[in-house]
Amino acid sequence: MSTRVLSDGAVLRPAEPGDESGILSCIVALAVYEREPDAVKNTVEALRDALFGAEPRVFAHVVEREGDIVGIAVWFLTYSTWTGRHGIWLEDLYVDTDKRGGGYGTALLAALAALCLQRGYSRLEWTVLDWNAPSIAFYRSIGATPMEEWTTQRVTDDALSALAAR
C-alpha cells in the first residue's frame, strides 16, 4: 500500500522507522479507553524491533496529521487451514478521540481490506470488547459480522509457564 492523502490533508501510510513513539502513544490511549491503563508493557524499542527488525512479524499503518500520528492499525498475518490462505488479524485499531468521525478508522480498515484483496488473503479479523457499543456500531456499519459462536481463549503469566512445563 502506498501513501494516501485523506480529504482533510491527513496522510494514511504504512508505518516507518521513527513512528514508534506515536504508535506507542496510541496503544497507551487505547488501553486507557479499554479500561486497562496499566496493562501496556510495550516500549519504543520493542516496537522498533517488532515492526522494523530483521524479521518483522507485526505491521502497522498510521494516519498522520500535521506531523502527529492520530490513528493506527497494528496487524499481523494469520493462516486459515480451511481456506489455505492467509488473512490479517487486526490487533489494534485506534483513532484519537478528538479525531473520530473524520473517516480515519474507515480509511485504516479499507487499507487493510485492500491489502487482503491485493495479496489474495481470505479474511480480515479482530476482536472488540462486548461493552464497546460505539465501536461495535461502527464495525456493523462497514459490514463486519460477529463470530458469536467463537470465544477467544488466552493463556498468560503463571498459567503459560505451567502449561509449558507439562
Residues 8, 4: Cα–Cα separation, whole Å: 11
Average pLDDT, the chain: 95
The pLDDT value recorded for residue 1 is: 59
What domains, with CATH codes, occur in the chain? Answer: 4-164 (3.40.630.30)
pLDDT above 90: residue 126:
yes
- For residue 139, indicate whether it is catalytic: yes
pLDDT tens, position by position, 46-60: 999 999 999 999 999
- How many other C-beta atoms lie within 10 A of the C-beta of residue 16? 12
Question: In which band, very low, low, confident or very high, does the pLDDT at 7 lie, cut at 50, 70 and 90?
Answer: confident
Distance, in Å, from the CA atom of 117 to the CA atom of 121, rounded to the nearest integer, reads 6
Q: State the average pLDDT over residues 60-64.
A: 98
Kind of pairing between the strands at 59-65 and 68-80:
antiparallel
pLDDT confidence of residue 12: 98
User: Quick one: average pLDDT of 80-86?
Assistant: 96
Out of 94, 104, 121, 139, the active site residue is: 139
